Amino acid sequence: MVPSGPVGGGSLVVRKVGDLTGPGITTPFRMEAADLGIPVRAPDGHLLFVFGDTFEEARVGGGWWRSPVALRGRASLSGELGCGASGLGGGVAWTAAVGGRYAQQLRPYSPGGPAVSTVLPTDVITLGGDMYLHVAVHQGFGNVRWSEIWCSRDSGETWHPTAARFPGALHGGMFQLLTWALADDGYVYVLSTGFQRDKPALLHRVRADRITDPSAYRPWGRGAAGWAWGNPPTPVLDGRVGEMCLRPLDGRWLLTWFDEGGYRIDALVLDAPVSVCETTAEDRVTLIRGTAWGREDDAHVAQLYGGYVIPGSTLDDLHLTVSQWNTEAGWPYRVMHFRVRGLTAVHRPGH
């Protein structure tokens, strides 16, 4: 396992660039507390960041609970970035909230209700002029009743449900939380796991023009003749997998994910999505490690999770949104911007 830390011996250079949410940053949108911040390039060219449970005050439970919400922004990822004023949070400048002056919930329902307690985003993808958002519907936090796909045809301003709905128990509960990305072969590759961070990950693929057809998702699995599409799904990434982000970068594929068992955010650089099943623990690169409160530095974050790639990143200059939640105090509960350099130097060629 390759550690994150200062320069030297091929190590990564990891730096917290700044907070992306919190007082003085997202206060104008009435959302001082939020998590996830899944970024995507919208068809109109803007960056869209989709957040999970969001509150007006800087604490969990701090008024006006809604989820998911989204902000538009622009980012300057090169150079030495820092936090600025007027909504600048770590090189990302917020330009607008989806829904109007304040960040509105993307679809109507009442958070905290008896049937649906919250709806949490897991990943978003742009396919041509359309955007698709996969969300997990919870009845009690962590109890996913089902997941479904929403669609936007106006660059994320309005969202509508599609016919795609997946039971929470599908594949042993390993299709509740997913990440997806489009390949040059016309397929969207989908890595999925459970919301509870106690399961491995599965791999599926679906034609981009059938992304809203659950019957079109083909699993990748090991059979008598080896690995093939259409076999029963076989775990391709072991461990207690949490939030994931799969993206094509620099002619290869990058997978980042929160490893609950290791208390860290790890990465794999792959030749193709199916290559993930051929990797071992030695191929994984640790980007950011968890730590105790009061012992944080750039490469160590207390109660971290997430780890989503900001568009414009490269393998050698990687930018991530990372969440943090002090579950005992209720604050910090925020999204942060981290920069990682040196990934290709520490990643072993051929894996």
State residue 256 phi and psi, 5-degree precision. -115, 150
| pLDDT surpassing 80 at residue 82 | no
| pLDDT surpassing 70 at residue 253 | yes
Look at residue 249 and tell me if it is in a domain: yes
Look at residue 192 and tell me if it is in a domain: yes
Domain that holds residue 200: 13-19+116-346
Lowest mean pLDDT among 11-20, 170-179, 255-264: 11-20
Look at residue 281 and tell me if it is in a domain: yes
Specify which residues 75 forms β-bridges with.
Answer: 92
User: CB 184: neighbour CB atoms within 10 A?
Assistant: 6
| pLDDT surpassing 90 at residue 8 | no
Number of domains in the chain: 1
Dihedral sign for Cα 196, 326, 258, 56, please. Answer: positive
Look at residue 100 and tell me if it is in a domain: no
Look at residue 35 and tell me if it is in a domain: no
Residue 141 confidence class, pLDDT cut points 50, 70, 90? confident
Read off the pLDDT of each residue in 286-307 and give the average, rounded to a whole number: 98
| pLDDT surpassing 80 at residue 24 | yes
Look at residue 97 and tell me if it is in a domain: no
222: exposed, middle or buried (Cβ count in 10 Å: 0-12, 13-18, 19+): middle
Look at residue 80 and tell me if it is in a domain: no
Instruction: State pLDDT tens for residues 217-250.
Output: 999 999 999 999 999 999 999 999 999 999 999 9
| pLDDT surpassing 80 at residue 282 | yes
Look at residue 87 and tell me if it is in a domain: no
Residue 349 confidence class, pLDDT cut points 50, 70, 90? very low
| pLDDT the model gives residue 30 | 98
Report the share of the chain in percent with pLDDT over 70: 92
CATH of the domain at 175: 2.115.10.20
